[in-house]
Every structure is written in structure tokens, then in C-alpha cells.
Amino acid sequence: MFDTQTLPDNIMTTQLKRVVNWARRSSLWPMPFATACCGIELMATASSRYDLARFGAEAMRFSPRQSDLLIVAGRVTVKIMPVLQHIYQQMTEPKWVISMGACASTGGVFDCYATIQGIDQFMPVDVYVPGCPPRPETLMEGIMAIQRIIDEDGLPPAGRRRPLQLAVEPNYKPGPQPVRTPITVGGHPI
């Protein structure tokens, strides 16, 4: 062993894992999957007012093979979920997922058979960004949370992530139809 205090001032010592994690966290390439009003807030995050470039995530990629961060913003329906799963499968490891907004996280106000009530039923989600729609500052906080995950964990170990549930089925059970009771006036049906 050598004493690091005796090294010249222009030499830095570190671990390779830390350098790789620093490079990975400083160059996230998000893939936007925006289907509703959350997409407008996602676009605003990349504008000059909020400047997502200072976090190294300004290079929006529309090819899953060039992305490592999937941002799902807005409603996801039963018909579009297989497409979203296919995009997720095409992304190379390591990859991370942000569920942006109430609709992507819980279905939002759309409690119906056609809307997925949370994308975490079908793919692993790393960070949930709350709001309806969330402000750009909230999305930037979510991206910084992904960066903290990368710094702490680095590469996810094998078997840590949940496998995809490829069978897309609605999880909504409709209630019984209301039964019309006959209206009577003075004992006579109308």
C-alpha cells in the first residue's frame, strides 16, 4: 500500500466503478413516451427555462436502442401497453423507468376498462413522479433521483428487477348495471 497523501496534486485516485457510474449518471438518454398532457410538461423540461441539459439528459432519443431512461408520461391504454412493453424490451441494460403523472402511475381519473391502472403492473418502475400534470421541476427531481440510484447501486444485479408480465389484461371489474325501478304516480306506472 502507498500513502495517497504523498501523491502529487495532479493525480487523483478512485475506483473504476465510481468513474463508470459518474459517466452513466451524467449522460442519461431519455426516451419520451408521452400520450397526454404530461407530455407537454415533459417538453417544457427540455426548454431553456428549465434546462435539462445541466443534468446530462437533454439528448432525447426516439430509438429504444439508444436510450437508457424511459419516461412514461400520460395515460396508457390496454391497446398501447404491448407497444410500450416492446419498447422497454428493446432498450439495452442498464435501463431505468420513470412513471410521470397520475395517469401513468395509477390510472388517474380514468378508472375504466381501457386504461391501465398503473404501468408498474407490467414493467418495473424506478421512480414515480406525482402530479396531474407534474411540473417540470418535479420531473427534474425524478431524474435526479435516478442519478442517485445510479450512484448508489450502479449496475443492477441479475435477478433484481421484476420480470415483465406480458399478458395484458384489464384489472378493472365493472360494477353491476343499475336496475331501473318503475316510476309510479298515484300507484300507476308511468
Cell of 185: 304516480
Dump pLDDT digits (tens) for 21-63: 888 888 888 899 988 888 888 888 888 788 888 887 778 888 8
pLDDT of res. 158: 54
Please say whether the beta carbons of 29 and 66 come within 8 A.
Answer: yes
pLDDT of res. 110: 84
Please say whether the beta carbons of 110 and 139 come within 8 A.
Answer: no
Cell of 19: 468513474
pLDDT of res. 156: 54
Please say whether the beta carbons of 107 and 78 come within 8 A.
Answer: no
Topology of domain 14-169 in CATH is: Rossmann fold (3.40.50)
Helix (H, G, I), strand (E, B) or coil at 69: strand
pLDDT of res. 178: 63
pLDDT of res. 164: 41
pLDDT tens track, the chain, 190 positions: 566 667 677 666 667 777 878 888 888 888 999 888 888 888 888 887 888 888 877 788 888 888 888 999 988 888 888 899 899 988 888 888 999 888 888 888 888 888 888 888 888 888 888 888 888 888 888 888 888 888 877 655 555 555 443 333 445 566 666 666 677 787 777 7
Q: Which of 114, 129, 126, 175 is nearest to 152 (CA)?
A: 126
DSSP 134: P
Please say whether the beta carbons of 90 and 123 come within 8 A.
Answer: no
By the 10 Å C-beta count (0-12 exposed, 13-18 middle, 19+ buried), 54 is classed as: exposed
pLDDT of res. 71: 92
Helices within the chain (DSSP H only): 16-25, 38-45, 81-90, 101-106, 136-153
pTM of the model: 0.73
